[in-house]
A and B are shown apart, each in its own frame.
Chain A
């Protein structure tokens, strides 16, 4: 039984990791630009397809394919900022609707380029860590390590660097930030690159584990929305905590009952948090 528990903890840690990457990116984009990026799940998908193309297709090393995935999806994010979100900045719903359109375009491009079928990505490593009867494959471990490294780097960037402060300042009060000489356009571009890039890495790192399909973004975006609502919209720390909370609850319920019940419990968790703390676990105020 304890092996079974440990195994579930491993599984949940893996799920928490890639969901945290996705949710943190979504929060960062919302914080800095005030836009709910519905295409975030498709940015995750694009990251997975970068690995399909560069690693499974061209035979580049896996890490190189992941790095290319980060840059490629980050650039997709900057493109979205430039052509969608910037012209629609004064329109509160415009960015959201434009991102839905972009989501459909990305799906269509994936279908046209790679077909409807799930992609087969060759395993990166067959290795695993075994503790008692429980095991953690290296592939999953890499996802956990990548998440810890990237989120730590992001945290340091936001706390220690001038541009990190600018990003936080912008998220807190865009107009006051402009008065300090911070360019809103430049900050939004950075936020989109980082936010999209994190989703891209999540997709790239998990590609060998999930058999990518053009529609894989759907499942993660719903979960990501639940996570950022539970964490408190606009709070990066909240997104990480909520990702861990959600992944553990979801994985445990899936393991001990079943997946449908787990989805219901996940939504109930969100409702319960909102009843007790309407702004989410770490949400302190409404955005101005």
Chain B
């Protein structure tokens, strides 16, 4: 397993946000975490990328324990996190936003190639490369956030609600991009409230309910699971 989350608990002050979450991510494909607001989806990603520290449990990446490391060292190991709400740097240009994703890299020539690749993948960003990120639409900002994460040259990409607040057309665009990224060999952990979309894209899924895993299984199976259908697919 590329990523192995074992019985992780997270507390915000005294309140438990995660009550023993375990999940595994293989080195290819999309694993999705679905669930309602406040179920702990974002907290799970935040504990993996080091933004919050688990109060107990272990997180292993490529066989090494990472749950005690600060966020910047976890990026260095190859986990890129596109946070909820995109969080692009509003007063940096599009290109500066992308380049800062490569902050830890020093292979200049390869960075230039990667920038060009990202501009090929997102032609809209190339047109807007000198604009401040704050002036972009939500979908374009999501592209910047994903592009910025890819610039770190990740071995694993964590995506938190990439479809949030986007138009249906843009949601399709983003799902195409996510499928594309997986195709290039970077596995993805996708957190989504849009369970239908997530289950279409993913190969394996975890359903979080109030801080723990309620159901898990291959995405195709969960699509036909009665509980999942009733609670998340509106069927």
Contact indicator A181/B72 (Cβ below 8 Å): yes
Known interface pairs A178-B71, A182-B72; A165-B92 also in contact (CB < 8 Å): yes
- Shortest A190–chain B CB gap in Å is 14
Contact indicator B75/A175 (Cβ below 8 Å): no
* B62-99 residues at the A interface, CB under 8 angstroms: 70-72, 75-76, 80-81, 83, 87-92, 96, 99
How far apart sit A176 and B76, CA to CA, in the bound complex (Å)? 15
How far apart sit A173 and B81, CA to CA, in the bound complex (Å)? 14
Contact indicator A166/B103 (Cβ below 8 Å): yes
Contact indicator A178/B72 (Cβ below 8 Å): yes
How far apart sit A285 and B70, CA to CA, in the bound complex (Å)? 29
Contact indicator B89/A175 (Cβ below 8 Å): no
Q: Does B104 contact A (CB under 8 A)?
A: yes
Contact indicator B91/A165 (Cβ below 8 Å): no
Q: Does A168 contact B (CB under 8 A)?
A: yes
Chain A, residues 164-195, CB within 8 Å of chain B (1/0): the string is 01101100110111111111100000000000
Q: Which residues of B contact A166 (CB under 8 A)?
A: 100, 103
Contact indicator B152/A176 (Cβ below 8 Å): no
Could you tell me how many residues of chain A have their Cβ less than 8 Å away from some Cβ of chain B? 19
- Shortest A239–chain B CB gap in Å is 15
- Shortest B33–chain A CB gap in Å is 18
Contact indicator A178/B92 (Cβ below 8 Å): no
Q: Which residues of A contact B90 (CB under 8 A)?
A: 172, 285
Q: Which residues of A contact B215 (CB under 8 A)?
A: none
Chain A, residues 11-50, CB within 8 Å of chain B (1/0): the string is 0000000000000000000000000000000000000000
- Shortest B211–chain A CB gap in Å is 21
Contact indicator A176/B89 (Cβ below 8 Å): yes
Contact indicator A182/B91 (Cβ below 8 Å): no
Contact indicator B103/A162 (Cβ below 8 Å): yes
Chain B, residues 144-175, CB within 8 Å of chain A (1/0): the string is 00001000100000000000000000000000
- Shortest A218–chain B CB gap in Å is 33
Contact indicator A165/B71 (Cβ below 8 Å): no
Contact indicator B83/A169 (Cβ below 8 Å): no
How far apart sit A184 and B148, CA to CA, in the bound complex (Å)? 18
Interface residues of A (CB under 8 A from B): 162, 165-166, 168-169, 172-173, 175-184, 284-285
26 contacts between A and B (CB under 8 A): A162-B99, A165-B92, A166-B100, A168-B91, A169-B92, A169-B100, A172-B91, A172-B92, A173-B89, A175-B83, A175-B87, A176-B89, A177-B89, A177-B100, A178-B50, A178-B51, A178-B72, A179-B71, A179-B83, A181-B75, A181-B76, A181-B103, A181-B104, A181-B152, A183-B70, A184-B72
Interface residues of B (CB under 8 A from A): 49-51, 70-72, 75-76, 80-81, 83, 87-92, 96, 99-101, 103-104, 134, 148, 152
7 shortest A-B CB distances, which residue pairs?
A: A181-B104, A181-B75, A176-B87, A178-B71, A172-B89, A181-B72, A181-B103
Besides the known contacts A165-B103, A176-B88, A177-B100, 18 further A-B residue pairs in the complex with CB atoms under 8 A apart: A169-B92, A169-B100, A172-B89, A172-B90, A172-B92, A173-B89, A176-B87, A178-B70, A178-B72, A179-B71, A179-B75, A179-B81, A179-B83, A180-B100, A181-B103, A182-B72, A183-B72, A184-B72
